[in-house]
Amino acid sequence: MSKKSESKTKALSKKAQEKQKDILEMLKSHGAKIYDDLDNGQFPKFSIPSRSVSNIVYDKKIRQYILGNATALRSSKNTSQLRSFTQLTWLAFFANRLTIEKKSSTLRDIYYSSQAFEIDFEDQGESDSIIVDLEAVTLRAREDFHIFPEERSSIFGDLNIEYTIPGYEGKTMNLSNHPDGYAIGPSLTTAELVDTSAEIVIAIEKGGLFTRFVEEQIDKKFKAIIINTGGQAPRSTRTLLKRLHDEMKLPVVILTDGDVYGEHIAMVIKSGSANAAHLRELTVPDAKWVGVWATDIEKYKLPTIPMTESDIKRCRDLQKDPRYQDGIWKKELDVFLRIKRKAELEAFSKYGLTNITEKYLPQKLELAKSL
């Protein structure tokens, strides 16, 4: 390890330490407030930005959904809020432990851990929702508290990283060493991105095609880092995409199924989801959706299946979304609604297994430059 990288690591860990200190102090101040209230014979309470639909607004300037100014008071005196108040206090307490001990936890893990403390979450949905509450109260992403979703997305390509998690500090890795790709988990999203020879990031919706891309050495042919989003991209993946774009200055293109859900997967990577309206730093506004478009279905004569009732309803819902009011987003949505048919990425197999990589992808990457 060179001297240069050594000092960089030190700087890194210092930065991480400061961040940790920040979070711990913030959590402590919340804890102290609750403590003092109880000690003074008062029911503790705090205000929390309202996440109701009416308080989620689209910010054109930063091109994502954000929370409005409405706040809700959550009081432990109110018996209908008492339980969730307790759950939230517990979660802060648990996140505090995770942060101090530098341990990671998944959403599911949180749900199960709660049981040891007589915190009766009814299901994971409820605990997930409390985690979002904690994010909203503290205005920090759950990853800052070492809480991560299940890993289902992966990455492959010539990228050198350096771990920052305890026990692996300073260790480096090249992400093209293992042909199955690397799971995008907390150790990867917190790792320092050292260098890369890649010139583009290709995010694909599906694992099957990701494997094919690795087999066909798309990483080499197109100088690309390939990422499998595993359907709707998890936050860790979106964080990593953002870092690849911002820190490594790599353009991001997205390849999805030719249907309304695919289009929206691309949109969420580009401008976030309403669910995470309370968080920033999760979007890649410059990311480009390159296909499969509705117009591609006609252009490439792809085999199709008819859209379902729910597909059509989803189209109509998205037509009301401010982000779908212009450009290809609006155009493709309109075409989907017109043809009422959809195609999967695998549809290209009709013209041979390599058709998608040899014909479609190059054309689309070329086109992306002009988008």
Among 18, 21, 22, 32, interactor with another protein by CB under 8 A? 32
User: Residue 93, interface with another protein (CB under 8 A)?
Assistant: yes
Binding mask 40-69 for another protein (x = CB under 8 A): -xxxx-------------------------
User: Shortest approach of another protein to residue 145 CB, angstroms?
Assistant: 12
Alpha-carbon span 99 to 315, nearest angstrom? 42
User: Residue 35, interface with another protein (CB under 8 A)?
Assistant: yes
**Cα distances (angstroms) measured from residue 9 to each of 6, 21, 327:** 5, 18, 43
User: Shortest approach of another protein to residue 37 CB, angstroms?
Assistant: 8
In the complex with another protein, the residue whose CB is nearer, 27 or 318, is: 27
User: Residue 85, interface with another protein (CB under 8 A)?
Assistant: yes
User: Residue 170, interface with another protein (CB under 8 A)?
Assistant: no
Name the active-site residue from 35, 58, 111, 112.
Answer: 112
In the complex with another protein, the residue whose CB is nearer, 82 or 274, is: 82
112 labelled catalytic:
yes
User: Shortest approach of another protein to residue 13 CB, angstroms?
Assistant: 24
Judge whether 323 and 271 are in contact, CB under 8 Å. Answer: yes
**Size of residue set near another protein by CB under 8 A:** 29
User: Residue 103, interface with another protein (CB under 8 A)?
Assistant: no
Binding mask 116-155 for another protein (x = CB under 8 A): -xxx------------------------------------
Among 5, 8, 20, 31, interactor with another protein by CB under 8 A? 31
Among 8, 45, 63, 83, interactor with another protein by CB under 8 A? 83
In the complex with another protein, the residue whose CB is nearer, 2 or 79, is: 79
User: Residue 73, interface with another protein (CB under 8 A)?
Assistant: no
Residues 6+ away with beta carbon under 8 Å from 10 = none
User: Shortest approach of another protein to residue 86 CB, angstroms?
Assistant: 4
Point out which span in 76-84, 167-175, 207-215, 327-335 binds another protein (CB under 8 A).
76-84
Residues 6+ away with beta carbon under 8 Å from 14 = none
User: Residue 92, interface with another protein (CB under 8 A)?
Assistant: yes
Which residues have a catalytic role annotated?
112
Q: Which residues bind another protein (CB under 8 A)?
A: 27-28, 30-32, 34-36, 38-39, 41-44, 76, 79, 82-83, 85-86, 89-90, 92-93, 96-97, 117-119
